Amino acid sequence: MTNAYQALKLAQEQIADLESQLLKRKLRATESPCDTKALVDGRELKAFCSNDYLGLANHPALIQALAEGAQRYGVGSGASHLISGHSRAHELLENQLASFQKQHIPNARALFFSTGYLANLTAITGLARLAPQKSTSIYSAKLNHASLIDGIRLAAAQTQANVALFDHTLLNTLNELLKTDQHPLKIIVTDGVFSMDGDLAPVKELLKLAEQYDALLLVDDAHGFGVLGKQGHGILEQENICSDRIIYIGTLGKAAGVSGAFVCAQATFIEWLIQKGRPFIYSTATPPAIAHTLSKSLQIIGGDEGSKRRTQLNKLIRIWQDEMQFSQWEKVSSCTAIQPVILGSNANALLTAKLLDDAGYWIPAIRPPTVANGSARLRITFSANHSEADVCQLIDTLKSIEQAVIQKVSHE
Ligand SMILES: Cc1ncc(COP(=O)(O)O)c(C=O)c1O
């Protein structure tokens, strides 16, 4: 049995163990707004690590909208949505979000959440509860985000759902699994853009399988909403697909620049989540001022400014793809603002991040369990607020660091 004193000792030992494996994580507090430059530990660093892909997190119109929202609605919602926390600002935002997906999901309705983590927990557990115990089969892409994995684990614990993993680059295996599956309810769950690799899920092919085997398809487009598609509506727009079996999740703390998330699906599914989605029901509503700010952010995303920002982002991605092809570092084939450089060991990743920090850059090392063992990496991300010169300078710095790291490793 573990008593409280032993628990404390165990925590100390396990933290020391993490440190010895170079896996201990550290918090760093910034003293500046989220933008392409960050004031950290008294130094100004060039940041290539946020998910603020469109550069909206510090946008004057959104700062003004937040102030305006606070004047109109105060700073807190005071209760969960079903008690008294649901405001007109939430309702307007949900209508706007649904209209972004209406060409891709018939009879679309959207439900707003305070975080993507909560949206994923609610959607997956809520859908699994549509079928009796042991009647659901959930297929999860191996590289799915932790919040999807945790949603699936919770759904499996609550409903004894069957869970199987699939490789999103080898859909034959998924096809074989679905072919023999006798569970009445099947749900395929995938990231739209894989968060640590930057590549896209084959959503068209997944939808075909969902149709063939009568499954639902849940797409978490946290890193696609705002940036993919001509109007920034996300991966469903980019891939030009439409189906009432799609459950779409978008997050609003990344390209949208604020915070929160939404589930968009055909209206009956959303009504079900309102009735039975426990993480939604039992959590205080996000301040309405945030919803008010997000409405402004959606106007920017869907308008000319959003378009210009996406064009700039795509220009930066192309510069990176052209200039980095000569690097010996392993890269992942990604056409998005997420461009990982795989360094392998934790030691290599930490050394490279440290050399970058010395050169004035903030790009933290990403290590297990966020990525697989032996695939520690830099997760480089671009923002529309970066200039072409910013990206070229980063590439020059990386090239010189690459030589230094290769020489160091070859001497060891
Ligand atoms: C793919 C994916 N889904 C969901 C989330 C969770 O979203 P949030 O940060 O709003 O909780 C993240 C966040 O990092 C993510 O990358």
Q: By the 8 A CB rule, do 114 and 286 touch?
A: yes
C-alpha span between 410 and 412 (Å, rounded): 6
Residue with the smallest CA separation from ligand 1 atom 8 is 116
Using DSSP's 3-state secondary structure scheme, residue 379 falls into: strand
Q: Tell how far the Cα of 222 is from the centroid of ligand 1, in angstroms.
A: 6
Q: Is the CB of 197 under 6 A from ligand 1?
A: no
- Predicted TM-score (pTM) of the model is 0.96
Query: How much distance in Å is there from the Cα of 223 to the middle of ligand 1?
Result: 8
Find the 116 Cα to ligand 1 centroid distance in Å.
5
CATH architecture for the domain at 60-302: 3-Layer(aba) Sandwich (3.40)
Give the closest residue to 358 by CA, choosing from 410, 409, 412, 405: 405
Any idea what the Cα angle at residue 225 is, between residues 223 and 231, rounded to 5°?
A: 140
Mutate which of 115, 120, 147 to test ligand 1's pocket (most atoms within 8 Å of Cβ)? 147
Question: What confidence score (pLDDT) does residue 404 get?
Answer: 80
Query: If you ran DSSP here, which 8-state letter would residue 200 be given?
Result: B
Q: Which residues contact 331 (CB under 8 A, 6 or more apart)?
A: 324, 339, 340, 341, 342
DSSP string, 233-295: --HHHHHT---TTEEEEEESSSTTSS--EEEEEEHHHHHHHHHH-HHHHTSBPPPHHHHHHHH
Q: 348-385: buried (b, 16+ CB within 10 Å) or exposed (e) per residue? A: bbbbbbebbbebebbbbbbbeeebeeebbbbbbbbbbb
Q: Where are the domains of the chain?
A: 29-58+307-411, 60-302
Which residue out of 112, 117, 366, 370 has the highest number of ligand 1 atoms within 8 Å of its CB and is therefore the one to mutate?
Answer: 117
145 lines ligand 1 (CB under 6 A): yes
Q: Are strands 376-381 and 136-141 parallel, antiparallel or unpaired?
A: unpaired
Ordered per-residue pLDDT tens for the chain, 412 residues: 679 999 999 999 999 999 999 999 999 999 999 999 999 999 999 999 999 999 999 999 999 999 999 999 999 999 999 999 999 999 999 999 999 999 999 999 999 999 999 999 999 999 999 999 999 999 999 999 999 999 999 999 999 999 999 999 999 999 999 999 999 999 999 999 999 999 999 999 999 999 999 999 999 999 999 999 999 999 999 999 999 999 999 999 999 999 999 999 999 999 999 999 999 999 999 999 999 999 999 999 999 999 999 999 999 999 999 998 878 888 888 999 999 999 999 999 999 999 999 999 999 999 999 999 999 999 999 999 999 999 999 999 999 998 887 777 666 6
- In one-letter notation, the amino acid at residue 175 is N
Is 52 close to ligand 1, i.e. is its CB under 6 Å away? no
Element (H, E) at 9: helix 4-20
Ranges of beta strands (E only) in 58-113 are: 108-113
Q: How many angstroms separate the alpha carbon of residue 251 from the centre of ligand 1?
A: 7
Ligand 1 centroid to Cα of residue 53, in Å, is 14
pLDDT for 1 equals 61
Residue closest by Cα to atom 16 of ligand 1:
195
Q: Is the CB of 123 under 6 A from ligand 1?
A: no
Residue 261 CA, closest ligand 1 atom number:
10
CATH domain 29-58+307-411 topology = Aspartate Aminotransferase, domain 1 (3.90.1150)
Residue nearest to atom 6 of ligand 1 (CA): 116
Burial of 157 (0-12, 13-18, 19+ CB in 10 A): exposed
Q: What pLDDT sits at residue 410?
A: 65
Distances (CA, A) of 364 to 110, 378, 380, 392, 394: 34, 7, 9, 19, 14
